[in-house]
Amino acid sequence: MSWSDMLTICGLFAVQCIYGLYMMFLDGLLAAGVPSLFIIAVACAASSVVVLPFAFALERKKWPKVWSPMLVLQLVVISLGGVSIYQVFMMLGVERTSPAIASAMPNLGPGFIFVIAACLRFERFNWKCKYTRAKILGTLVCLSGAMCVSFLKNSTPPSVSPKSIPGDEEELSNGKSRKEWILGCFYLLTGVTIFACNTVMQAGALKRFPAPLSVCSITAMMGSIFSAIIQVLMEGKLTAGTGDNITWIIGEIVLVGGVVIGLCTTFQVSSIGRKGPVLVSMFSPFQTVFSAFISLIFFGQWIGLGCFVGIVLMFVGLYGVLWAKNREDKMLTELTAPPESECDVERPLLQ
C-alpha cells in the first residue's frame, strides 16, 4: 500500500471524527431552536464561498468548455437530493421513530452503495473472483458491526437499573402509533437510498467533470438555495428560529459548518473520485464509533460488550474490504501492463 493510500485512509478516518464533533455542535444549535434547514442553507453557502477560490486557482483548466445537459442534470440532482431532500426525509423519520433507529439507518449506506455501484459498473464485480467475495463479506461484517454499535452504544453501566431507560414500548405508547413508526422507518430508508444514489452519482459526475473542488462548490451553493426554498415552502419564511444572538449563531455556522465541514466534504468527494464510492462509504460507520467514545469520555455513557464487539467487527470488515480492493487493483494493473518483451529497452531494434 502506497503512502498516498495511507494518507487517504487516515484522512477519511479524520473526516469521520470531525463529522462526529460536528454532530455535537449541531445538537447544541438544534436545542437552541435553530431550524435544521436554516443551518444547512447557511453552512452550504459558506462552504461554497470557501472552496470556490481554491477551485478557481487549481481546477480552472479542468472546467468543461461546453456544459452538457447530462452534467448539469447530475449536479442539480446531487445538490437537491444529497443536500436538501436527504435531510428532509431524515428529519421526518426522526420525528416518527426513535433516535436509535435514526442513527442506525445511515449505517446501511455502504451496503446500498455497494449494490448500486456494482450495478452501474462503478465497482468491479465478478462472483467468481475471490476478491469480490471478500469485499461482499467485509461489507456485511462492517454493516453488522455498525448496527451493533448504533443500537448498543447507549447501554447503561451495570450499576444503573435498566428500568430507568424508556423502551420502545413506552415510546410507542407516548403518542407514536405503529403506523407512524412504519412510516418513519420508510422515510429513513428513503433518505438512506437517496444518499447512496447521490454518492454513486458523485462518482459519475467526477468522470465527466474531474474537478472535486469545483463540484463541491457548485453543489453546495445549489444545495443552499434548494434548502432555503424548502424552508420557505414548509415554514412560510427563511428564519433562524430564534431572536437571540442571531449574528453569533450565523458566525458559528459559517465557521464550523462552512469552513471545516466544507473542507472535509471536499476531501471526501476527491477520495470518491480516486478510490470509488464503496471504499469511501465504508468509513461512514466510524462516525458512530467516535461518537460512542466521546459519549463515554465526556458524558459517562457506558460502552457495553455488544458495542465493543460491534467496533471490532467494523474494523475487521473494513480491513477485509481494504485488503480486497488493494489486491484487486494490483491484479488489474498486472493484467493491463504490457508484456516485458514489448517494453524491454535493452532489446535490439534489429535481430
Span 300-345, pLDDT tens digits: 666 677 767 777 787 787 777 777 777 776 776 666 655 555 444 4
Per-residue pLDDT band for 174 (boundaries 50, 70, 90) equals: very low
Instruction: Specify the range with the lowest mean pLDDT, choosing from 16-20, 124-128, 346-350.
Output: 346-350
The per-residue pLDDT for range 97-151, each reduced to its tens digit, is 655 566 666 777 777 777 777 777 766 777 777 777 887 888 788 777 767 766 6
Q: Is 12 helix (H, G, I), strand (E, B) or coil?
A: helix
Helices (H) and strands (E) in the chain, counts: 15, 0
- Answer for the pair 180, 95: CB distance below 8 angstroms, yes or no: no
List the one residue out of 124, 191, 152 whose CA is nearest residue 292.
Answer: 152
- Calculate Rg over the CA atoms of the chain: 22
For residue 33, what is its C-alpha cell? 431552536
The dihedrals phi and psi of 197, each to the nearest 5 degrees, come to -60, -40
Taking residues 189-202, report their average pLDDT: 84
Taking residues 225-232, report their average pLDDT: 88
The 3-state secondary structure of 64-121 reads CCCCCHHHHHHHHHHHHHHHHHHHHHHHHHHHHCCHHHHHHHHHHHHHHHHHHHHHCC
Q: Is 133 helix (H, G, I), strand (E, B) or coil?
A: helix
Per-residue pLDDT band for 346 (boundaries 50, 70, 90) equals: very low
pTM to 2 decimal places: 0.68
18 Cβ partners below 8 Å, 6+ apart?
260, 261, 264
Integer Cα distance of 327 and 130 in angstroms? 10
For residue 59, what is its C-alpha cell? 481546477
Angle between the 130-152 and 109-119 helix axes, to the nearest 10 degrees? 150
The dihedrals phi and psi of 281, each to the nearest 5 degrees, come to -65, -25
Q: What was the pLDDT predicted at 22?
A: 78
Integer Cα distance of 342 and 203 in angstroms? 34
Q: Is 305 helix (H, G, I), strand (E, B) or coil?
A: helix
Q: Is 170 helix (H, G, I), strand (E, B) or coil?
A: helix
For residue 269, what is its C-alpha cell? 468527494
CA distances in angstroms from 313 to 102, 148, 149, 306, 308, listed in the order given = 21, 9, 10, 10, 9
Q: What was the pLDDT predicted at 74?
A: 86
Pick the most confident of 217-221, 278-282, 304-308, 314-318.
217-221
Q: Where are the domains of the chain?
A: 3-154+177-330
* Grid cell 462492517 in the structure block, residue: 142
What is the amino acid identity at position 34?
V
The per-residue pLDDT for range 240-277, each reduced to its tens digit, is 776 667 888 888 888 887 888 888 888 888 887 777 77
- Answer for the pair 122, 277: CB distance below 8 angstroms, yes or no: yes
For residue 139, what is its C-alpha cell? 461489507
Per-residue pLDDT band for 212 (boundaries 50, 70, 90) equals: confident
Per-residue pLDDT band for 192 (boundaries 50, 70, 90) equals: confident
N- to C-terminal Cα distance for the chain?
A: 40
More confident residue, 30 or 299: 30
- Answer for the pair 90, 184: CB distance below 8 angstroms, yes or no: no
* pLDDT, mean over the chain: 75
Taking residues 284-302, report their average pLDDT: 70
